[in-house]
Amino acid sequence: MAASWDGSYDPGSQSDDSHHFERLHIEPLYDAFVCPLTKQVMRDPVTLENGQTFEREAIEKWLKECRESGRKLVCPLTLKELKSTDLNPSIALRNTIEEWTTRNEAAQLDMASRSLNMNSSENDVLLSLKFIQHICQKSRYNKHVVRNADLIPMIVDMLKSSSRKVRCRALETLLVVVEEDEDNKAILAEGDTVRTIVKFLSHEQSKEREEAVSLLYELSKSEAVCEKIGSINGAILILVGMTSSKSENVLTVEKADKTLENLEKFENNVRQMAENGRLQPLLTQILEGTPETKQSMAAYLGELVLNNDVKVYVARTVGESLINLMKSGNMQSREAALKALNQISSYEASSKVLIEAGMLPPLVKDLFTVGANHLPMRLKEVSATILSNVVNSGYDVDSIPIGPDHQTLVSEDNVHNLLHLISNTGPPIECKLLQVLVGLTSSPTTALNVVAAIKSSGATISLVQFIEVPQQDLRMACIKLLQNLSPYMGQDLADALRGTVGQLSSLFRVVSENTGISEEQAAAAGLLAELPERDLGLTRQMLDEGSFQLIISRVVKIRQGETRGSRFVTPVLEGLVRVLARVTFVLSEEPDSVALCREYNLAALFIELLQANGLDNVQMVSATALENLSQESKNLTRLPELPPPGICASIFPCFSKQAVITGLCRVHQGTCSLKESFCLLEGQGVHKLVALLDHTNVKVVEAALAALSTLLDDGVAIEQGVFVLCEAEAIKPILDVLLEKQTENLRSRAVWVVERLLRTEDIAYEVSGDQNVSTALVDAFHHADYRTRQIAERALKHVDKIPNFSGIFPNM
């Protein structure tokens, strides 16, 4: 009977192991029980007219083959022709066989149960489990027998075996035992059995994983067990992982997927799937569920942390459904939808999808509506956050009508509504609404509308006041908004800052904080940099409050590398240098500015900043500051005091001798220094400015040339200035600037400088042979503005291209 325990169980076969069962009094097999054709115990015995008995299925097949082959219908045993092919059921024999089978199987099952323990050999356990599989596959009734014999817990115990083969066979057997049997599934789900099965999903052996997932799939067909599987920590996570695994075989992946589909019957399982990356069931519930389910799932969606690609997918799948939910009359549904939309809209691409799905009009309506059915303030904060996400997505919101008469978000009335809300709500919603305005003012096309609305509503001072609030995020939103507004209403902002106490110093405190370099500092530096540089009152206030000292300290620290590694270092440094440069615009009107420049040797600092390679704006602003400082040098140089002439010299001038004073500045004809009179001849200033004349940024070139031109200005020794430029090898780079004609401003400046250079005969002589320079001057003479053409005419006279008696343009 050993064959009873292998994969091809044959009740009719005998083996050498049959003595093992004789001790259990297993009844012998009678020949009458065995079909002559199949050699197996019959289940449905039938008798022919000649009295021979066969298995119904076997004899029917025999007779069919005879007919199809054209042979006579004969008995397979006697080979005699049959007159009739009637098959008479042998009911008595069948009953006897069934009784015999039941008694034998009961005995064999008893033997199997005795082998299901840890002390039995691996082979005995495997044979026992195989036998249980066989009898359960043979009839559904036997599954009840197995259950009533308490074999299910014994099979479960085999999952703890140290033998991999036994564990796999136990999983196989449990699958057969519970298949299409709710009672057996319920028993298997008791205790920690399901948790044990789940653990097999993470086993290294693929065979165990495959058997475990097949068993779980069968169990998941029972709703009661579905809930149990979902409640096991990590079960859904592992199953979701298996469905996306490329290392699992196809059937395992398919079973895991089908298991999850069955688990979707319970909302808690759907939530877990969404949390672990399987979002589709949750999205399907939002699309097709009951109103209560839609609300519940939308609320959970708002709690999930989604990556950006998933946000786009979710927006495309359920964006419209969420918007409809947001427009419903149920406040709980609106809250759930708003929180989900807030999550999804936080990525630019998904935000654009929601805009195209029609989210903007109802969103703005909810935000502005007061009275019956209006949103509570906590939800208006969520609406404001979504609106901020939308506006900052880069979508052209001005193209979307959101009210009657084709009004848009930047229509004057709507901006006034935003400003009104900002003035009459708490810090959280104020912050989000300011961020909305930040987004609207980031685009030149919509910024002008916002600026006009701010001016017409007189909101400038109320906006400026947010600079002093303690909430960092609210303060930063305000500063970023004011930075965006400053190119359009810089003077208005300067007036507001100058007319109130504390705001200006608060901005400088933000910039000078030693907590690294932040986005807020970049915005504050950018705002301060955009304020009108020639506003004397504002500069005086900065001087009185010690603001420039804070800026100088910060710039020096950044240049010394104390604040590396932040992506905001460049905008902060550019802004700080622009703010510092404003002190050089009031040198002639404000003595304190001269004193500050001397005390901190700003000329040397700006010369050092000329070498900030890669920071074009810093180099350009530094060159402009040096131009301003150098222009003041002729007023600050200390002219020598000549000794009074003696008595003889006063009576007889012919006896007087001109005093010779050494150590004077060649250009300014007095005692100069970089620190005291800002003279460019000191500190390698000239050489560093000349080095910028071949810069790729035309604005840097223009600023450098403007600074160098102060050495040739009226009020200084122009000829000596020319010699200084010659010594610095600046002549060729200056002529190259003229030849390149990059912009009209740069050409005008270059023509002015070249004309001054050509006043020196040696240079004029050398240049007169350069046809390219002559052509450039002639081109300026013909096509430049009126003043430049005058200067070009004088330059052409210096190189004898126009006779000196010619006066095409009258003297100005």
- The string of pLDDT tens digits covering residues 484-512 is 999 999 999 999 888 667 788 889 989 88
**How would DSSP label each residue in 19-75?**
HHHHTTTPPPPPGGGB-TTT-SB-SSEEE-TTS-EEEHHHHHHHHHHHHHHT---B-
659 has pLDDT over 70: no
Dump pLDDT digits (tens) for 686-716: 999 999 999 999 999 999 999 999 999 998 9
Mean pLDDT to the nearest integer, 49-71: 92
Dump pLDDT digits (tens) for 592-648: 999 999 999 999 999 999 998 889 999 999 999 999 999 999 898 887 765 565 555
23 has pLDDT over 70: no
Mean pLDDT to the nearest integer, 181-189: 92
Query: Residue 682: which pLDDT band, with cuts at 50, 70 and 90?
Result: confident
Structure confidence at residue 481 (pLDDT)? 95
21 has pLDDT over 60: no
32 has pLDDT over 60: yes
Structure confidence at residue 630 (pLDDT)? 93
Closest of 399, 400, 403 to residue 416, by C-alpha: 403
Q: Where do you find CATH 3.30.40.10 in the chain?
A: 31-94
pTM: 0.74
More confident residue, 662 or 693: 693
More confident residue, 683 or 267: 267
- Average pLDDT over the chain, rounded to an integer: 87
111 has pLDDT over 80: no
Dump pLDDT digits (tens) for 407-424: 889 899 999 999 998 988
**Interatomic CA distance for residues 205 and 686, integer angstroms:** 77
Mean pLDDT to the nearest integer, 293-322: 93
Structure confidence at residue 650 (pLDDT)? 58
Structure confidence at residue 313 (pLDDT)? 94
Does an H or E element contain 709, and which?
Answer: helix 698-709
Provide the residue type at 266 as one letter.
F
Structure confidence at residue 17 (pLDDT)? 39
807 has pLDDT over 80: no
Structure confidence at residue 359 (pLDDT)? 93
Q: Which of 4-8, 15-19, 676-680 has the highest mean pLDDT?
A: 676-680
More confident residue, 478 or 114: 478
- Per-residue tokens: 608: 């050092």
Structure confidence at residue 24 (pLDDT)? 44
Mean pLDDT to the nearest integer, 451-472: 91
Structure confidence at residue 141 (pLDDT)? 87
Please list the residues that pair with 88 across neighbouring strands.
47
Closest of 288, 291, 319 to residue 301, by C-alpha: 319
Mean pLDDT to the nearest integer, 236-250: 86
**Interatomic CA distance for residues 182 and 749, integer angstroms:** 94
More confident residue, 762 or 453: 453
Closest of 198, 194, 213, 121 to residue 152, by C-alpha: 194
CA angle 320, 321, 324 (to 5 degrees): 90
CATH code linked to domain 31-94: 3.30.40.10
Closest of 683, 676, 672, 664 to residue 728, by C-alpha: 683
CA angle 627, 632, 638 (to 5 degrees): 135
Structure confidence at residue 764 (pLDDT)? 84
7 has pLDDT over 50: no
276 has pLDDT over 80: yes
More confident residue, 119 or 372: 119
**Interatomic CA distance for residues 27 and 15, integer angstroms:** 15
Dump pLDDT digits (tens) for 753-773: 999 998 888 888 888 888 888
Query: Residue 288: which pLDDT band, with cuts at 50, 70 and 90?
Result: very high
563 has pLDDT over 70: no
